[in-house]
Amino acid sequence: MATNKIQGDGLSKRNKLIKYVLDRALVAIALIILSPVMFFVAIAVYFRMGYPILFTQPRPGKDGRIFNFYKFRTMTNEQDSNGELLPDEERLTKFGQFLRQTSLDELPQFWNVLKGDMSLVGPRPLLVRYLDRYTPEQARRHEVKPGITGWAQVNGRRLLDGYWEERFRLDIWYVDNWSLWLDLKILALTVFKVLKQEDISQEGYATGEEFYGNNTE
């Protein structure tokens, strides 16, 4: 079982500076262009699902440090007779499906990038409860900041064969092979896949398959 302490330093100081500048320059441009879209999406979420407009959840970032992760809300808060939330697939609305298919639900993560919690490109931030389920090799995905998009996402997103094993392999490959041109390639491929609405969800799951690591329960 992996510990929460992440070993290694990920990118060099020079490369970290390059990513820092690239992230903020591109996010600033994106916010100028997409702020009207974000405004109208926020209004639509409010009228269709009410408050809160944003889905906020703690996620682990670089070195496993926890931060608040933002998305536009795509599911209702409907509960059963015992006060428990209904299954994700029952709470996911048609409008929420549209937001996911177009990746519009991801736009609030630009603020995560501006805050320094995330990068435009990097391994996607997963759930906090997964931290002690990683092998030491899988935990290396936390040597860099998590991203809005990543190498695993442009290579199949949630439809990869051997889902978790392949996803982690691609995440670690990105950590070991980062370059400015690789980030630009991933961003270009992401735009292409979003426009084509490819590889949005994993078959049989509304939000993705649970990762159990070496646990069998």
> How confident is the model over 59-69, as pLDDT tens digits?
999 999 999 99
pLDDT at 100 over 60: yes
- The answer to whether 209 touches 202, Cβ cutoff 8 Å, is yes
Averaged pLDDT for residues 89-113: 88
Confidence at 3, pLDDT banded by 50, 70, 90? very low
pLDDT at 7 over 90: no
pLDDT at 149 over 50: yes
Q: Identify the residue with better confidence: 89 or 118.
A: 118
**The predicted structure's pLDDT at residue 216:** 43
Least-confidence region, from 35-49, 50-64, 91-105:
91-105
Please tell me the pTM assigned to this model.
0.82
- The answer to whether 182 touches 154, Cβ cutoff 8 Å, is no
Least-confidence region, from 23-27, 102-106, 181-185, 213-217:
213-217
**The predicted structure's pLDDT at residue 157:** 56
Confidence at 158, pLDDT banded by 50, 70, 90? low
Confidence at 206, pLDDT banded by 50, 70, 90? very low
Confidence at 51, pLDDT banded by 50, 70, 90? confident
DSSP secondary structure letters along 127-182: -GGGGGGS-TTGGGGGGS--EEE-HHHHTTTT--TTHHHHHHHHHHHHHHH--HHH
Q: What's CA 201's distance to the chain center, in Å?
A: 13
The pLDDT mean for the chain works out to: 83
- The answer to whether 154 touches 147, Cβ cutoff 8 Å, is no
- The answer to whether 152 touches 211, Cβ cutoff 8 Å, is no
Q: How many CA atoms lie within 13 A of 202 on its CB side?
A: 15
**The predicted structure's pLDDT at residue 94:** 87
